[in-house]
Amino acid sequence: MVTIHIEKVRKTFGEVVATDDVNMDLQDGKLSTLLGPSGCGKTTLLRLIAGFYEPDYGRIYFDDLDVTDIPPNKRNTGMCFQNYALWPHMTVFDNIAYGLKMKRVDGMKYTQAAIKRRVKDALELVRMQGLGDRTPHQLSGGQQQRVALARALVIEPDVLLLDEPLSNLDAKLRNEMREEILRIQGELGITTVYVTHDQVEALSISDMVAVMEKGYIQQYGPPREIYAKPQTLFVADFIGKCTFFDGIIHSIGQDYLTVELTDGQKVSGRTPIEGYPFEEGESVRCAVRPEDLFLESTDPKNNEISGDVFQVVYIGSNVEVFFHVGETSAVALLSPDVKVSEGEKIELYAPRSDVMILPLGGVDALRKIPGHPLYSQD
């Protein structure tokens, strides 16, 4: 297995910048996810790793080997495509065996016995024993995905690349295949890069998550860190739910910043971005997750936020209470037995440690942080 080291990679298509200034290490034996909306550059980055695209500049390494100029068939990667890309006229066995028949090891082709053994092992790994004689049209979507996964794994790749592999499956099958991919990746310990636009999928299966927008890596870290300490407004908004309150920095303390909101209320919070040079009077946004707002305060230092309720939605285990703070619409996730009605005033409490103070801007803000991969002194 290998660590994938990506250094200052940029890729454009005409005037369109698909990826830019990508610097990251995808760790040996870990499942790393490239997460973001459509058009953010995640599939382009995956194809750069695979060798289907060449970067305009920058380098890609597998461990210490520079693979930037090495063609895809020499990189020893296995890839699963979004549409499975199975040969419709071939059996399951022949689809899986195709890569083995094309691959050479030490100048020798695999023997027929070796191919049969490896395909048998791959079918067992993806729990498709006994289905080798079927053709793709005789399989369900989940079974086709398993065949595509077996075909990628049978060549014993150093790196497994998965391009939105579950997007064509229904919700139940997605959950089942998600568990299967986790099981297989865990058993093999193979370095895996997984592309998805589904935040729940990314958080649930990943060792590391890279959140992308407009070609840039806005944050790369473990799922819990991405959720608890978003580095940009985009990340905070894309991962989970947040209410954003506009304001200006009133004062800067050792551990907390105090922000005056547009309606005059003041809240204190922390910044999840170490090293960002905040200044008093600077326009910022306070991000608060719905589950971090409470009807009762357990600490006199908690923030008090008041507003006018305009909607209450029962969702089973909780109720979503929507309220206005000035001109801002906010939401709190409260217990289902809470007695709150539309038109009432509500006072909620938020611990200072759960209010996140974030600078305006995305990449431009990150460029101001010394030591950040995007830091610029210009």
- Dist. CA 33–CA 42, nearest whole Å: 9
pTM of this prediction?
A: 0.89
**For the chain, how many residues are written?**
378
Report the chain's C-alpha Rg in angstroms: 25
Query: What is the pLDDT averaged over residues 229-234?
Result: 95
Please state whether beta strands 303-314 and 283-288 pair in parallel, antiparallel, or not at all (unpaired).
unpaired
The dihedrals phi and psi of 122, each to the nearest 5 degrees, come to -65, -40
Is residue 291 left, alpha or beta, with left meaning phi > 0 and alpha meaning psi from -120 to 50? alpha
Domain boundaries, given as residue ranges, for the chain: 4-228, 234-366
Which of 72-81, 108-117, 274-283, 342-351 is predicted least confidently? 108-117
Chain Cα centroid distance, residue 364: 21
Is residue 250 left, alpha or beta, with left meaning phi > 0 and alpha meaning psi from -120 to 50? alpha
User: What is the reported pLDDT for 214?
Assistant: 93
User: What is the reported pLDDT for 107?
Assistant: 52
Chain Cα centroid distance, residue 257: 29
102 versus 59: which is more confidently predicted? 59
8 Å CB contact between 62 and 158: yes
User: Is pLDDT above 60 for 108?
Assistant: no
The dihedrals phi and psi of 206, each to the nearest 5 degrees, come to -95, 145
User: What is the reported pLDDT for 105?
Assistant: 46
Which of 43-52, 104-113, 169-178, 220-229 is predicted least confidently? 104-113
User: Is pLDDT above 90 for 113?
Assistant: no
Q: Band the pLDDT of 48: cuts 50, 70, 90.
A: very high
8 Å CB contact between 191 and 28: yes
- Dist. CA 217–CA 361, nearest whole Å: 14
User: Is pLDDT above 80 for 35?
Assistant: yes
Please state whether beta strands 16-26 and 4-13 pair in parallel, antiparallel, or not at all (unpaired).
antiparallel
DSSP three-state, residue 323: strand
> For residue 340, which of 320, 324, 360 has the smallest C-alpha distance?
320
CATH topology of domain 4-228: Rossmann fold (3.40.50)
Q: For the segment 119-138, what is each residue's pLDDT rounded down to a tens digit?
A: 999 999 999 898 899 999 99
110 versus 88: which is more confidently predicted? 88
Class of domain 234-366: mainly beta
User: What is the reported pLDDT for 270?
Assistant: 95
Q: For the segment 281-337, what is each residue's pLDDT rounded down to a tens digit?
A: 999 999 999 999 999 998 999 999 999 999 999 998 999 999 999 889 999 999 998
Place of tokens 């370095």: 191
User: What is the reported pLDDT for 106?
Assistant: 44
User: What is the reported pLDDT for 46?
Assistant: 97
Q: For the segment 80-94, what is each residue's pLDDT rounded down to a tens digit?
A: 988 888 889 999 999
User: What is the reported pLDDT for 103?
Assistant: 66
HSE on the CB side for 346, CA within 13 Å? 28
User: What is the reported pLDDT for 236?
Assistant: 95
Q: Band the pLDDT of 1: cuts 50, 70, 90.
A: confident
